Amino acid sequence: MTTSTSVSSQRWSSRWLFVLAAAGSAVGLGNIWKFPYIAGENGGGAFVLIYLVCIAAVGIPIMVSEVLLGRQGRSSPIHTMRKLAKASGRSQRWSVLGWMGVLAGFLILSYYAVIAGWAVNYVWLSGSGAFEGASAQAVGQSFDDFLASPFELIAYQTAFMILTIWIVGRGVTQGLEAAIRWFMPLLFLLLIALLVYSFNSGGFDQGFAFMFDMKWDAVTADSWLIAMGQAFFTLSLGMGTMMAYGAYVPDDANLGTTVVTIAALDTLIAVAAGLAIFPIVFANGLEVAQGPGLTFVTLPLAFGQMPFGSIFGALFFLLLSFAAITSAISLTEPALSFLVEEYNAKRQRVAISLGVICWALGLGTVFSFNVWSDVTFVGGLTFFDSVDYFSQNILLPLGGMLITFFAIWLLPRGMVEQQLGIENPILGWAWKVVAGIVAPLGVLAVFLSTIWPMLSGLWQ
Ligand code: PFF
């Protein structure tokens, strides 16, 4: 344990705390509402298989590269890239990767805090019995009314942001680790409680079949791209979060097994979330709606029809809030660690300044749902959609691809093998092929497929 605030001297107390912290970053809104839905829509078990391939062939190599660079540089992502570029005789411009991560973290956190605020509000709403016996129309209306009120959205966004900033300002040991020690076990417990509840809901068989039946005819070329994009976002890759967290990994931790454990935990929780959600939806004969609709309309409606639904509904939203907070704290780390290092500044002060700017940016997302709902930017996207699109579909894949390329092809010879403890030359080559060719090409495919429609729209 360390009390110093300098980035290079801070360490996770153990390898396990790093695993929990990285899993905390990975498990978020992306796992709990997005994964179950896209899995169901893209062929159930067939999609889960494709997703596992993407996690193994693209997600794990990129995560290993990020953590490895972080541990080698032992600084914020921007400084790490500068240091390692210098050590390998490469251009200092590679530090632009660190800057892209800082920007992506800002943009993602600005809207993440708004959506997480919805989850916090729904803890109270569900717990107070507001949805007990309510009609579909009433539940939908209450969500619409909430979105239409900037004041309410800002109140919850602010509360979530204050908690995030308070945690990260306290530092790695007292802030990040302390939060993770509480929130991660609670998250596991809540998920188990919800699984037991959904098992007894009467819709378990249908929910299980929806998630796991191998419906290969529902798989399209797009399903591969969706699986890859999801693997990427859910593992928090491409923006230096894992590099920033990697800077605090103890020297003796085996990176390969550590990263595989993190990816396995993230996948397990995504699958468990699906198994907790769908049976409840099916038991009530409801439509499996999309995205926020499923989480904030269909589920409250389903819980409202069930015995002890208020309690379990509140627990579900508590689970979502915990998952979001451990992701949110990781989103600040690339920028925070850079500013602390660069200006030798106090973490708390930097955290507050970053939080205020991010909060202000988040107001754009808040207004996208009400007063600015008609204001659109490139591609007809609202402010929120634009920020989401630019960060998730452009900055993250581009960052991930370049980070892996740098780690595999540009670092001095032997550095990667030494960090990974690879002694066998055949294994070394296999690693280079998967991480240095398959992973960046896979990401390139996702990247081109997402920006192509946008670019062709611009030219028309
Ligand atoms: N992995 C998070 C989720 O699935 O919700 C989102 C995320 C967090 C993405 C942190 C990127 C990041 F750096």
Q: Is the CB–ligand 1 distance for residue 31 below 6 Å? A: yes
Q: Is the CB–ligand 1 distance for residue 25 below 6 Å? A: yes
- Taking CA atoms only, the protein residue closest to ligand 1 atom 12 is 236
**Average pLDDT in the 284-309 region?**
80
Write out the CATH class of domain 7-459: mainly alpha
Q: Is the pLDDT of residue 351 over 80?
A: yes
Distance from the alpha carbon of residue 19 to the mean position of ligand 1, in angstroms: 15
Q: Is the pLDDT of residue 428 over 90?
A: no
Q: Is the CB–ligand 1 distance for residue 160 below 6 Å? A: no
236-257 pLDDT, tens digit per residue, is: 999 999 999 999 999 888 898 9
Tell how far CA 271 is from the center of its chain.
15
| Burial of 340: CB neighbours in 10 Å, binned 0-12, 13-18, 19+ | buried
Check residues 1 and 430 and name the one with the higher pLDDT. Answer: 430
Give the Cα separation of 137 and 3 in Å (integer).
53
Taking the domains of the chain in order of start, what are their residue ranges? 7-459
Give the Cα separation of 122 and 294 in Å (integer).
13
Residue 2 is predicted with a pLDDT of 38
Q: Would you give the DSSP letter of residue 308?
A: T
Give the Cα separation of 184 and 190 in Å (integer).
10
Residue 3 is predicted with a pLDDT of 37
Q: Is the CB–ligand 1 distance for residue 295 below 6 Å? A: no
Distance from the alpha carbon of residue 62 to the mean position of ligand 1, in angstroms: 14
Q: Which two tokens stand for residue 7?
A: 């980035």
Distance from the alpha carbon of residue 107 to the mean position of ligand 1, in angstroms: 12
Question: 214 - beta bridge partners?
Answer: 44
Of the candidate ranges 101-115, 289-303, 375-389, 415-429, the one whose mean pLDDT is the lowest:
289-303
Rounded CA Rg of the chain = 21
| Burial of 128: CB neighbours in 10 Å, binned 0-12, 13-18, 19+ | exposed
Of the candidate ranges 211-225, 278-292, 440-454, the one whose mean pLDDT is the lowest:
278-292
% of the chain residues with pLDDT over 70:
96
pLDDT band at 132 (very low <50, low <70, confident <90, very high): very high
Q: Which two tokens stand for residue 161?
A: 């942001």
Distance from the alpha carbon of residue 383 to the mean position of ligand 1, in angstroms: 20
Q: Which residues of 402-425 are buried (b: 16+ CB within 10 A; e: fewer)?
A: bbbbbbbeebeeebbbebbebeee
Distance from the alpha carbon of residue 132 to the mean position of ligand 1, in angstroms: 32
Residue 94 is predicted with a pLDDT of 95
Q: Which of 5, 86, 27 is nearest to 336 (CA)?
A: 5
Q: Which two tokens stand for residue 65?
A: 């590269």
